Amino acid sequence: MTVLLRSLHILWVCCRYRLDQLVSQPLPMPLRYVLMLFPVGTASRGERLRQACETLGPIFVKFGQLLSTRPDLIPPDIVKELDQLQDNVPPFSPQTFREIVKSSLGQSLEAVFDTLEEQPLASASVAQVHAATLKPTLKEQTRREVVVKVIRPGIENTIQKDIALLRWVARCLERWLPDGKRLRSVDIVEDYRNTIFDELNLQREAANASQLRRNFNHSALLYVPEIIWEHSNKTILVMERIYGIPVASVEALEAQQTNMKLLAERGVEIFFTQVFEHNFFHADMHPGNIFVSTQTPHQPQYICIDMAIVGSLSREDQYYLARNLLAMFRRDYRQVAELHVQSGWVPKHTHVSDFEASVRTVCEPIFQKPLAEISFGKVMITLFQTAQRFNMEVQPQLILLQKTLLNIEGLGRQLYPELDLWQTAHPFLERWLENRLHPKTLFKEIKRYTPEWMEKLPDVPTTLISNMETLEKMGGLIPQIQQAAEDYHQIKQRNKRRYRMSLIATILAMGAAVTAWPQGITYISSLPPATTILGVAALGIWLFK
């Protein structure tokens, strides 16, 4: 009954906000009559979808946030609205929070914390965060300020039920809509399921934060808070508390005389450093997760939190992505097309010339603008959308990357509207490719994989001999395969001739029967008998030749 009521509520919300207008195909007539009872109003389609997600609750808010990361599937106006979704929900009681913390730690709160604030710093759909101070230890004599994050009680059961409903809706869309398969709604729901269940494991987020902190250790670009591992596990995360200015508070940043140009450029540098040098990037860098240190405003440093979602690329994807970006901004569309084929992003049989022409068609108008006005992220989206017409499969890691780039680019131009992202990215990519092909780098790679090669070396002769024996056996089977193919072809031809003759005989017999009984079919009986027979026979021969 609960599932039925929830389903009816979701259906009512979809009708109330007229989400039927998000699809271009007409719906069944009975449903259209029902929808006439709900006026459309003046809100845009993106705004209506955002309001529907907020009405349906935190799980759908998270789903809407995930949809905003898929600009390859979702139109720009809808993505812009979904980006405004705020994952703020009423907090659960302080007593419940303390009970969860105690259960997660396996010991009393007084043994770990000096203070644990009752009012939360943040309350979201999946987790809640409170400020606290740790008790002094022999290692640290001071009371260390931390934040404590726990999973919202009962959330897993709620997520399971709502995802089951979302999966059902997605299957209906793929079955009923003519272009339902293209929307890949089932894949999107599965992607959402994996993402949100990853967020339920706070130890995963803690591990991501530790890795990112290690990558930027002693860096002037980015600071990552320290994880207090002795008090963190799957259901609780204790982390160093940070203080900074929210990156979206431009007035506050300007008030402390922050170097806004350098701040914007460092954001771009952080992104490319994570993607190409570390191959481990924070994939949820929206303004709510980014702060700016107040320590050195003339040499500004970023601070990031909430590392639940991260991304990485294979070495091949790194290489082909860097070369693609360089070739694209040089307007070498031929190389862009060739790299897509070489990387396997599009099928090997793709006609490079056709792909090159399509890339030129969509990119050439973009590059008529000054480079400083071109959106790097939108160029990537345009390129991948063009490639999808040539059967490029969805690359989840690249989709995550392009959404992160859009966030960084939008944030950078909010801080410094004259930001020329290409001026920062171009020398970085050139230098990275040069270092990748440097003899020292190649030697390091050889050194890295030498133990593995040496381990497999004794098996090489045996493997070669085994493969040669297999090839020799296959070679002996070739005459038998050829003979079987010839026999099959002859049998097929004989059966085909027999089929044609029997079919022609049947049609002739039908023609004769029609001539012998002219009263039964007046439009045929009016013809001469010979004409009827020959006409039916000729039709049969023509149809089945």
Catalytic member of 284, 306, 317, 420 = 284
For residue 331, the number of C-alpha atoms closer than 13 Å in the C-beta half-sphere is 10
410/398 Cα distance (integer angstroms) = 18
CA 267 to chain centre: 22
Furthest-apart CA atoms within the chain: distance in Å: 115
Q: Which of 189, 129, 184, 130 is nearest to 159 (CA)?
A: 189
Q: Which of 52, 201, 42 is nearest to 126 (CA)?
A: 201
Q: What share of residues in the chain are helix, strand, coil (percent, to 5)?
A: 65, 10, 30
List phi, psi (to 5°) of 304: -125, 150
Tokens in use for 495?
Answer: 């059966």
CA 307 to chain centre: 17
116/123 Cα distance (integer angstroms) = 16
Question: What SS3 class is residue 369?
Answer: coil
Q: Would you call 284 a catalytic residue per the annotation?
A: yes
Strands (E), 117-191: 122-123, 127-134, 145-151
385/291 Cα distance (integer angstroms) = 33
Residues carrying an active site annotation: 284
